[in-house]
Amino acid sequence: MSFQSCLLNQSWNNFGLHAFITQLQAWSYLFLVLYV
């Protein structure tokens, strides 16, 4: 049970980080389009 919850937290952390990186890429792409 403890191991499963730890694994679940790890996967959620990875998902949050991936979403953050994706959003960061989207913003930088938007700035690139606006400034070029």
The dihedral over CA atoms of 6, 12, 16, 19, expressed in degrees to the nearest 10, equals 150
Query: On the CB side of 33, how many CA atoms lie within 13 Å of its CA?
Result: 6
d(CA 22, CA 28): 10
Higher pLDDT, 5 or 33: 33
Tens digits of residue pLDDT in 15-32: 778 888 899 999 999 999
Domain ranges of the chain: 1-36
Query: pTM of the full predicted structure?
Result: 0.51
